[in-house]
Structure 1
């Protein structure tokens, strides 16, 4: 009987030894670099004909492109599991995977703390409008055109998407004296709310002083924050996004910043990464980071290990530890 195989697309920076140890349960293939055209060609030529499970990541997306119907159609019929490195997986066509009988996992939990830390970093920076002062100090201009900021204490933090990351943001924000409210498709159990108030989407927009986006990107959440939503918000609201850029209509955000409807923003993600809207680059009341929410040694290793744990579980027990919620009987909250 032919031994089932595992395929690694891209590289591993922190768990190479653990990947190689998977050779005890599977034949190992690697596709470290290349192009979508080359990858498709190799698939069609049968180079990966025994692959049962594969490891891919958001970083490897630049090699293969999106896991859409075209690519899934070229992969061998033996493929049953896609183990993805990343909390977000909008570059994988989940319905197409499900239709083909392919189960998909992601890396929740492993990313929660690092992403929440960056959300708080951005929130505090946006509250204090640190960018002009930071740039002035770097230029040797001391305070430059210094302006007063705001304290987080007693501000209402609205969290859109109270999952693992959103909950971690809430716990951190409480330490700064903030009041927490949130909106999901469904209210959390009381023990999981940890004192946060559940409100409707409309009430969240109308009553939050700071709005943190912590939900996944899909067809229903793209541009969930656009001009109609900005119009509902308090004048002077602060927007934080560490989830996915296309959740926000960036052109509408730029207009809201110019009008003063949005007082400041802290962004780690952008609508057309790596491109950043010129209006955001020109604005001095935004704090910008280049999508580094999970960028720590510890978190990157934890993510790689979780992907490999999923892969091993697929081979040993025919299931995944952290299967994406869309493939579970009941969908998770946003």
Structure 2
């Protein structure tokens, strides 16, 4: 009997485990469970003769912000060179992929898959009532018939747009690399496309960031963009990545009135939170938890397993970020 290939699993302490499907997977793979205290230890284990020297796939499951692995970046640029030649697939829970060196993985011939749409509803529907919300009373504005601008009309952005259109009658604008006519058709009254954020901001009352973080979206909102807001001011919601907003510029805009409110689930220097934002009554902060729901955890596991099974049966995963020739 031939030796089963090694599959390395990184489980968060906050996750959902499909025991039935994993048992079936164990019939085909030698299941290894990651317990490295640092990525340096991980690198050592992948060296020839090490316990991870022959892994063919890695599956990272659950919420990355919880448990002993919360501060580890196992797919970062400094780790990728240590991956063994046998490694062909990484299936990682979550929507964003900025913590992985995708170009480096592609150069090594390694597929990288995320779990798109697994946490769409959890992020799109997140709402938290804080005691300080009463302080907004004299500044609060009814969102009905206002204009909402969304950066990134993907699964999450579209879900936000649909809810705001139906519930509040908001007019939808969006910005991205290209128009999305199929997404526009999923909105009752369609949406207005803008090729740049600068073109969109003068037309909207609230902006939601729901796009991937790339070098092009770094500080997508900064002084120039805030200066284009309506005289009534702009509301900013960031559910994407913290570095997409220039926090110093945001603080200035909050002070000048160009921005009249902000809701931030992500921060530029996580886990650190800018104290000037934390102490500003116009700002609602969350510790990157909008993904949290039992449905998200189950879908993370399901899509990861789907990718592993698909790759080893067909040669191609289902939700790859990159392309391997």
Could you say whether these structures have the same fold, taking a TM-score greater than 0.5 normalized by the shorter chain as the test? yes
Pair 1:327–1:233, CA change in 2 (3 A) = farther
Q: 1:182 aligns with which of 127, 151, 174?
A: 174
How many angstroms apart in 1 are the aligned matches of 2:193 and 2:221? Answer: 19
3-state SS in 2 of match to 1:276: coil
Pair 1:328–1:40, CA change in 2 (3 A) = closer
3-state SS in 1 of match to 2:78: helix
Query: Is 1:53 aligned to 2:53, yes or no?
Result: no
Give the total of aligned pairs: 311
Query: Is 1:266 aligned to 2:239, yes or no?
Result: no
Q: Which residue of 2 aligns with 1:138?
A: none
How many angstroms apart in 1 are the aligned matches of 2:240 and 2:116? Answer: 12
Q: Which residue of 2 aligns with 1:14?
A: 16
The Cα of 1:205 is off from its aligned counterpart by: 1.6
The Cα of 1:33 is off from its aligned counterpart by: 4.4
Query: Is 1:196 aligned to 2:191, yes or no?
Result: yes
Q: Which residue of 1 aligns with 2:6?
A: 5
Pair 1:240–1:11, CA change in 2 (3 A) = closer
How many angstroms apart in 1 are the aligned matches of 2:136 and 2:71? Answer: 44
Asked if structure 1 preserves the Cα contact closer than 8 Å seen for 2:111 and 2:324, the reply is: no
Q: 2:138 aligns with which of 147, 170, 173?
A: 147
Query: Is 1:242 aligned to 2:216, yes or no?
Result: no
Where in structure 1 are there 5+ consecutive unaligned residues?
135-143, 330-334
Q: Which residue of 2 aligns with 1:332?
A: none
Where in structure 2 are there 5+ consecutive unaligned residues?
none
* RMSD, aligned α-carbons: 2.2
List aligned pairs for 1:51-200, cutoff 5 A.
Answer: 51-56=55-60, 58-59=64-65, 62=70, 64-118=72-126, 121=127, 132-133=132-133, 146-175=137-166, 176-190=168-182, 192-193=184-185, 194=187, 195-200=190-195
How many angstroms apart in 2 are the aligned matches of 1:262 and 1:251? Answer: 13
The Cα of 1:16 is off from its aligned counterpart by: 4.8
Pair 1:73–1:273, CA change in 2 (3 A) = same
The Cα of 1:20 is off from its aligned counterpart by: 3.7
The Cα of 1:56 is off from its aligned counterpart by: 2.2
Asked if structure 2 preserves the Cα contact closer than 8 Å seen for 1:53 and 1:314, the reply is: no
Q: Which residue of 1 aligns with 2:317?
A: 320
How many angstroms apart in 2 are the aligned matches of 1:61 and 1:102? Answer: 22
3-state SS in 2 of match to 1:38: helix
TM-score by length of 2: 0.89
How many angstroms apart in 2 are the aligned matches of 1:273 and 1:264? Answer: 21
How many angstroms apart in 1 are the aligned matches of 2:235 and 2:72? Answer: 37
Pair 1:158–1:23, CA change in 2 (3 A) = same
Encode CA deviations 1:170-192: one digit per residue, 9 max, x unaligned: 00001211000111111012464
Q: Which residue of 2 aligns with 1:207?
A: 203
Query: Is 1:276 aligned to 2:273, yes or no?
Result: yes
More deviation, 233-242/198-207: 198-207
Asked if structure 1 preserves the Cα contact closer than 8 Å seen for 2:94 and 2:118, the reply is: no
Pair 1:133–1:222, CA change in 2 (3 A) = closer
How many angstroms apart in 2 are the aligned matches of 1:94 and 1:5? Answer: 22
TM-score by length of 1: 0.87
Q: Which residue of 1 aligns with 2:217?
A: 221
How many angstroms apart in 1 are the aligned matches of 2:225 and 2:256? Answer: 15
